Amino acid sequence: MHTCGEPTRIVTKGYPKLQGTLLEQRRQAKEQYDDLRRRLMLEPRGHADMYGAILIQETELVSSNEADIGVLFCHCEGYSQMCGHGTIALGRFLVDTDDLAIFPRRRHLRFNAADRTVSLNLHAPCGLVRVIIPTISDGSKADGSRPVSFISVPSFATALGRSLPIKEKDAWLALSKKGPPHAVTIDIAYGGAFYALVSVEELGLQDGLQDLDLDTMKKIAMVIKQTVIETYPDLCQHQSLSPDQCGLYSVIITDKRNSRPSQETVGAELGLCLFADGQIDRSPTGSGVTARVAAAYGAGERKTTDRWTYHSLVSHANNGSGAFIASIAKEVTVTTAAGNTTPAVTVSVEGLAFYLGKSSFISERQDPLRHGFLL
């Protein structure tokens, strides 16, 4: 499936059964079965920007009836805490499937006949994500013409307007004859994963996210990412989260000048998300949108009633088709074990996902490239 051009390869059968909590299962997947991730994500079966979702039928939240199914998100570098575009795709797929081996709790989903939607609780590594899927009149299949939405885990900013020193020069020299600034101003926010947010103005991009040299932008984003990791590791974690849920995932370059609002929204932003080791998200990045809403809320720039349009390079180039719409669902408080509190919000994000096809992959022992590769 794809969401605004960003793929989600959904693994439905053939993956080994994992044990323990969802985070323990992810650890087991990393330690014992990472060759399967590589085979599914990398060339020749995948590519550098492939994304995947491994369905997990049994987790601790499924056992307690809080969740309907679990998922492990993966990509070419490894595994992620949350994936908004993948959640939107999964919402549609899980309503459409009638295979109880793939989704044992399919018949337990809650159908609202009044607005023709089904509610699904997804257990992601970041926590419980509530997904609302529009359906046909009897609730048996998803209505692909209407957007799927999800309500995020509690999200918050850990740094606003923080100065980040820049030492690496090579990437900036390709962008500007003047070389890099001594520092750029960034925000860091959590939306199911941690994101560093930097504006085009801070990078000296006078034309915004227009006619970009993407290879150069990748280099700059990776410089920023590594500098954040080295300079502000404490801002990419929170006491309410386990160590497995912390760490900087992505850099998003934001452009508030070159975008158009969708209908019934009060503003718009364009963004370029570079995650993992420089993968470019074709979609507006669901958990990144959540982090951006949380940062805007923390800065006092977003009302709880505001609906905002978030564009990626793909939706921007296609007259807004594929943009995500986001709004604050609820103001909440995150409380740590020590009793400390952090103001936060849950965020509603909506978008459309579409089917691409079905594949069965094989791996021959004598194939020297069976484990995958990247150029």
User: Catalytic residues, which ones?
Assistant: 83
One-letter amino acid identity for 234? D
**Closest Cα to residue 68, out of 114, 37, 111, 36?**
111
- Cis-peptide, bond into residue 104, ω within 30° of zero: no
Helix intervals (H) in 5-154: 22-32, 34-41, 60-63, 84-96
One-letter amino acid identity for 8? T
What is the rounded distance in angstroms from the CA atom of residue 95 to the CA atom of residue 70? 14
User: Which DSSP state fits 373?
Assistant: B
Q: What is the DSSP string of 260-277?
A: -PPTT-SEEEEEEEEETT
Question: What is the helix (H) or strand (E) element at residue 170, kind and residue range?
Answer: helix 170-175
Coil/strand/helix, residue 237: coil
Residue with tokens 């740590």: 336
Q: How many residues does the chain have?
A: 375
What is the rounded distance in angstroms from the CA atom of residue 302 to the CA atom of residue 291? 13
